[in-house]
Amino acid sequence: MDLVALADNLLSRLLGVGMQSLLLAALVWALCRYLPRLDARTRAWLWWLVAAQMVVGLVWHAPVALPLLPAEPATAQVAMVASGEALPAFAAAGATEPVVPSAAFAQEASLDAGVLLLIAWLAGVAVMLANTVRQAWQLRRQIARARPCRDRQAREEYHALGRHLGIRALPVLQVSDDIDSPQLARPWRPVLMLPAAALARMNADDLRMSLHHELAHLQRRDLWWAWMPALAQHLFFFHPVAHFAAREYSLAREVACDAAVLADERHAPRDYGRLLVKLGVSTAPSPALAGASPTFRILKRRLLMLQHTASPLRTSALAVTVGIVLLGVVPYRVIASSTPVTPVATAVPVAATPVAAPVIAAQADPVAAPTPVAAPRAVVVAAAGDMPAPPAPPAAPRVRAPAAPTPPAPPPMRGTWSIGGARDGDAYVLIQDNEVTMAGHSDDIRIARTLQQGKAPVLWIREDGKQYILRDAATVQRVKAAHAPVEALGAQQGKLGEQQGALGERQGDLGVKQGELGVKMAAIATERASAALQGSRASDAEIDRRLDALAQEQEALARQQEVLSRQQEPLARQQEALSRRQVAATEQMQREVKRLLDDAIRSGKAQQL
């Protein structure tokens, strides 16, 4: 009986917490959807709170009771008014023996169902734990196979970046042949691993950005905080909200680290986006690991979010987070109000004629003796003068003047940006129509805007601490043409990335099907465990047949995954070749623009300000 009570209590909590988490996740999704300027750090905390609500709600002893439902009405009191003693006689004579239904069979069925559901939940949690242990073991072996980093440039850049960020105890820097992107592993005694194959091809800027991203995870303590969404996934493996919240939290923390890298103002969003495309995708096997994007869809979302790395909603974000904590995370239970609604007692007139007691025949159905109907009373209608005055007519509604239409937002700025360097260093900004082509600090765009005359193209230059303005159309077009090869290669990389993303989505769909088959196999295993507990062996052959069929489907899906992986390999090689061409084209563009600007200054076409 104790096992049955435990099963009922646990299942009721799982159901209640699941419904509350659904409402909380919908609220958080709406906030992130309709507040696009909400920074990634706040988004990460909001989705972390969704996972925390699921875990806290399951282990909380007594949920907070909210008396929001209407109170149950009390039993109506009916006063029987009579002039004789017939009513007590009727009550005494009409008393019958209570009927007690037999519920033994229904009770046993409900007990068996609750215990079976408890066993199924425990089996699912055990499968999730086994998978996590396997991934942790693989990570441990991967760390054991890694070797210390001997690259002098990487070590010097790593220690310089640690001093710049104020990190006293840096993780051990190692090189691994088993990874494709930099990864920070293990919350205790953390290790930062670099891919051995890609390390030799990384330039100084790419290496610095990669190391900064992983150290941002260390500063945010992401590997420790990630255990809450992982725990919610284990306990609520059947609930889509748990997996959705964990995925959105993982994306938000990666975007928060991306924003931390770009906030240092030493790297341009365009250069950082190119680095993300180079790194591609790499599935993180456990919560104790932070690395590249797990899917192409997540990579695409990270690239889009690079346009909104800064948020002016600091105070509002704090208020939203506190509100979510107070309203959504604490588990609650909606109950009826404690104050019952007492109906007014109704007096029913009864005639004084005595009522005979019911007589039960021996061989017929029991029929009560007819009761005489009481004489109706006269109905008194009030006079017209006693009637209340009619209510006054309602006041005319106020009509508000329509609000003035909101002016259209200015068109977005397009072009090629390379933001970085000191505020007073060499820089240039070319504004033509609504396109901006620049290399310098972000404040330089505002300076160039103030010098533009209408929609005429303008080229602002700062060299050796002096500022120049150039309005010569031919020079402006030559500077614009120097950027054309770089932009063309970027467009090719974008199209190639779309092809990789399409293949990645197909791989994701196959992964979903494999997961569904895994759930079916787990259900069949639970069925076998239940049959074993009951001592039945008759259905073993049928269960084996069903498991074999599911295993064959899994093998077919695995073969399709292998085919898609082979299709991804040439695309990755093409992407790498385009990246090398992009680096060469960028260097050529910088030299050509430098020559054009120097010629314009020497010839006097660029006027000093």
Digit-coded pLDDT (tens) for 384-399: 444 444 454 444 445 4
The separation between CA 493 and the C-alpha centre of its own chain, rounded to angstroms, equals: 28
The residues near 328 (Cβ < 8 Å, ≥ 6 apart) are 20, 23, 24, 27, 49, 50, 53
pLDDT tops 70 at residue 485: yes
Q: What is the pLDDT of residues 177-201, one digit of tens each?
A: 888 888 899 888 899 999 888 887 8
Contact (CB, 8 A) for 536 and 141 = no
| Distance in angstroms (rounded) separating the CA atoms of residues 302 and 304 | 5
Higher-confidence residue of 400 and 141: namely: 141
Given phi > 0 = left and psi -120 to 50 = alpha, else beta, which region is 378?
A: beta
| Distance in angstroms (rounded) separating the CA atoms of residues 327 and 14 | 19
CB atoms within 10 A of CB 544: 12
In this structure, of 121-135, 335-349, 418-432, 579-593, the range with the lowest mean pLDDT score is 335-349
How high does pLDDT run on average in the chain? 75
In this structure, of 240-249, 343-352, 439-448, 577-586, the range with the lowest mean pLDDT score is 343-352
State residue 291's pLDDT score. Answer: 56
Contact (CB, 8 A) for 219 and 201 = no
pLDDT tops 90 at residue 425: no
Which of 122-131, 177-186, 325-334, 371-380 has the highest mean predicted lDDT (pLDDT)?
122-131
> What does the pLDDT average to over 346-354?
42
Q: How far is CA 386 from CA 379, 381, 382, 383, 389, in A?
A: 16, 10, 6, 5, 9
pTM: 0.49
State residue 358's pLDDT score. Answer: 42
> What does the pLDDT average to over 37-43?
85
- Best CA proximity match to 343, nearest among 67, 79, 69, 68: 79
**Judging by beta carbons within 10 Å of its beta carbon (0-12, 13-18, 19+), is residue 282 exposed, middle or buried?**
middle
State residue 375's pLDDT score. Answer: 43
pLDDT tops 80 at residue 454: no
Q: Which residue is listed with tokens 């020079």?
A: 475
Vertex 162 angle, CA 158 and 166, to 5°: 175
| Distance in angstroms (rounded) separating the CA atoms of residues 403 and 468 | 45
